[in-house]
Amino acid sequence: MGRILTMPLDREPEIDKKERLEVMRHSAAHVMAEAVQSIFPDARFGIGPSIENGFYYDFELPRSLTPDDLPSIEAKMGEIIALNAGFIREEMTKEKARRLLAAQPYKLELIDEIPDETVSLYRQGSFVDLCRGPHVTAAGEIKAFKLLNIAGAYWRGDEHRPMLQRIYGVAFDTEEALSEHLLWLEEIKKRDHRKLGRELEIFIFDDEVGPGLPLWLPNGGIIIEEIEKLAKETELKHGYVRVRTPHLAKEDLFKRSGHLPYYAESMYPPMEIEGVRYYVKPMNCPMHHKIFASKTRSYRDLPLRIAEYGTCYRYEKSGELLGLMRVRSMQMNDSHIYCSETQFGQEFAAVVFLYLEYFKIFDIKEYYMRLSTHHPSGLGKKYVNNSAMWLKTEDMVRRAMDSNNIPYREAVDEAAFYGPKIDVQVKSAIGQEYTLATNQVDFAQAESFDLKFANEKGQEERPLIIHRAPLSTHERLVGFLLEHYGGAFPVWLAPVQVTVIPVADRHLDYARKLEAGLSSEGVRVKVDARSERMSLKIRQAQLDKVPYMLVVGDKEVATATVSVRLRSGEQLPAQSLASFEETVRTVIADKARDLK
RNA sequence: GCCAGCGUAGCUCAGUGGUAGAGCAGCGGUUUCGUAAACCGCUGGUCAAGAGUUCGACUCUCUUCGCUGGCUCCA
């Protein structure tokens, strides 16, 4: 139902404001379409909704747009808004709407899909659009807006259909809010993990090595070592065993596992050795299944939790790569848990609780769990063809989540090929949502690998398998953490934890003594021994986001103390080295974010 | 992979159909300094790669590679 937007007084002002903005953004999309139509009379129109912070509209045009077109479209929009034409809603039969929009094939397609007998159209100035509404009453209500970029977008999101040209814009109710938003866009560029990764010398990509194949620099190596240490300690505590497996395997293994039928398009092409085809592994599971099958298993062995930081390779289309977030070589915090059906609920929930344990350490608060289920239309194509097991395991996951009061959302058609999964969606500090951790059920591979164990009655039973990667891959986790912390890692992860800054060269001996003391405590410490001014060294340590700076000059040497500057700029009281060591030890041991 | 844009020194960026520039970084000196940039000098480039147009291409055209923003796809 179209609704003329007025100002109801009985509504929550915040909700009302949000809705009013959405309506205004949607109307801005129509105005943009009108502007485009006036420049390209033959334009064909796709859809033009409001989105977070703004709007877009998809067009089919006689030529490609370039960024240079945006100012003239913006100017035209300004003229349209100045005319303040009313948005007029008309309801009519589909037949009449088809005649009116006869030159608009995309609109005709949309009309065909509307179940109702009548449809609504909105008219403003010279532009008419099929639209559910609502809209502003007149174009003059559209306030501060800006067109940001153009992009290709497949009609209806289908890569087999034509690619339209999309223009994105942002719109706010005041100029202040708009410039605030534009400022924020500038700010988040500084927090981009690709920029921070280069500045802090965490990782690089090299054209000759290849796209999506990161090289970890020494600083990145330290962070990865720390994360692995955490994973190994935690997994030991939770009863996991560690294995190691090769990067390659014969074709037959991946045929058996189901990767070749269901996952081939994400795998690198095979290589042939002595007449046998080998594939680089996209996942570790088949290898772990072989380890499970390497001897007779009893119910007493279960749950068997096999863990490995396995390196996997996946072919991602070139346009899909994104810094560390989407790569082609990755090290996964992988494990496969083999358990009986009765153990499943508890094991599955234990993995979810493991996520929460990690998220607490990394101070990750913005996330939600997503139950990704199959869609029947994908059976035998995307998904292993066993409808009964899909329904059964999806229900088992729901029960495991519900009985532990863990909230989740369901997403149909997002499952892995071998079973449903819980994905943990996190929002990075710069607003992008990623699947970080994952917890997957596998009902298919136990059968294809003929995995079994002897139960209490001495009968053979199939285990269920849980694939899990709570710490994601090193690549995605470090990429996420770079943005999450803005490069200012907590001390336990910081590549350099303490920089000692001698005021003048004569303080170098004392600085070296401090370095030796801290180093023997396992603290990652460096002396900035350059013949430079102290303030330059402080600046350098600040830019490197080193948590602690120890400034030492005549005063410190004389009193055998250290002057502690935090990277926040805060100054701690002068103290003995022993006292500082105590602080650092505690902060590292607690994996604390606070430096004091 | 698709659409568009971009690619100049290690980094950030100027620049032009007629001999390639700056700041920072690096290197060599001078300076020995108290909480975010001392001073002087030097080095550093097949202007992403290849082909074409032109008397002459870093600049114009084409192809390839890479990156960026989206779309599609995903840990």
pLDDT, tens digit (0-9, with 9 covering 90-100), for A365-396: 999 999 999 999 889 888 999 999 999 999 99
Q: Is the CB of residue A62 inside 7 Å of nucleic acid strand B?
A: no
* Non-local CB neighbours of A485 within 8 Å, separated by 6+ positions: none
pLDDT digits (tens, 9 = 90+) for A228-266: 999 999 999 999 999 999 999 999 999 999 999 899 999
The mean pLDDT value of chain A amounts to 92
Which nucleotide has the shortest C1'-to-CA distance from A553? B34
Q: Is the CB of residue A129 inside 7 Å of nucleic acid strand B?
A: no
Give the total residue count for chain A: 596
Q: Which of residues 321-360 of A touch strand B (CB under 7 A)?
A: 321-323, 325-328, 330
Q: Which of residues 300-319 of A touch strand B (CB under 7 A)?
A: 314, 316-319
Interval A193-218 mean pLDDT = 94
Q: What percentage of chain A exceeds 70 in pLDDT?
A: 97
pLDDT higher than 50, residue A3: no
* Contact between A439 and A468 (Cβ < 8 Å): yes
Q: Is the CB of residue A185 inside 7 Å of nucleic acid strand B?
A: no
Q: Which pLDDT does position A16 carry in this prediction?
A: 79
pLDDT digits (tens, 9 = 90+) for A332-370: 999 999 999 999 999 999 999 999 999 999 999 999 999
- A12 pLDDT band, cuts 50/70/90, is low
pLDDT higher than 60, residue A95: yes
Q: Is the CB of residue A263 inside 7 Å of nucleic acid strand B?
A: no
Distance CA A218, CA A202 (A): 7
Greater confidence (A493 vs A114) lies with A493
Which nucleotide has the shortest C1'-to-CA distance from A51? B70
Residue A409 parent element (H or E)? strand A409-412
What does each C-alpha distance from A335 to A176, A308, A376, A393 come to in angstroms? 50, 6, 28, 19
Q: Which pLDDT does position A14 carry in this prediction?
A: 62
Q: Which pLDDT does position A254 carry in this prediction?
A: 96
Instruction: Look at residue A361 and give its three-state secondary structure.
Output: helix
Distance CA A492, CA A497 (A): 8
pLDDT higher than 70, residue A547: yes
Interval A434-459 mean pLDDT = 94
pLDDT higher than 60, residue A438: yes
Q: Is the CB of residue A544 inside 7 Å of nucleic acid strand B?
A: no
Site of tokens 């080998």? A278
B17 C1' – A71 CA distance, angstroms?
Answer: 30
Q: What is the pTM of this model?
A: 0.92
Tally the C-alpha atoms within 13 A of residue A98's C-alpha that lie toward its C-beta: 11
Q: Is the CB of residue A264 inside 7 Å of nucleic acid strand B?
A: no
For residue A170 the two structure tokens come to 């942002």
B1 C1' – A575 CA distance, angstroms?
Answer: 60
pLDDT higher than 50, residue A411: yes
Q: Which pLDDT does position A15 carry in this prediction?
A: 61
List the nucleotides on chain B closer than 7 A to a protein CB: 1-5, 11-12, 30-38, 65-75
Q: Which pLDDT does position A13 carry in this prediction?
A: 57
Distance CA A252, CA A260 (A): 9
Distance CA A442, CA A464 (A): 7
Q: Is the CB of residue A159 inside 7 Å of nucleic acid strand B?
A: yes
Which nucleotide has the shortest C1'-to-CA distance from A65? B4
Site of tokens 């909105």? A122
Best CA proximity match to A420, nearest among A470, A452, A467, A381: A467
Which nucleotide has the shortest C1'-to-CA distance from A436? B75
Q: Which pLDDT does position A10 carry in this prediction?
A: 47
Interval A29-54 mean pLDDT = 94
pLDDT higher than 60, residue A584: yes
ipTM at complex level: 0.94
Interval A420-433 mean pLDDT = 88
Q: What is the DSSP string of A115-178?
A: -SSEEEEEEETTEEEE------SBGGG--EEEEEEEEEEEGGG-TTSPEEEEEEEEEESSHHHH
Which nucleotide has the shortest C1'-to-CA distance from A536? B37
Strand boundaries in A256-408, DSSP class E: 271-273, 276-280, 297-298, 304-313, 329-339, 367-373
What does each C-alpha distance from A452 to A375, A442, A499 come to in angstroms? 28, 14, 55
Best CA proximity match to A594, nearest among A542, A548, A539: A548
For residue A13 the two structure tokens come to 């002002």
Which nucleotide has the shortest C1'-to-CA distance from A475? B75
pLDDT higher than 90, residue A485: yes
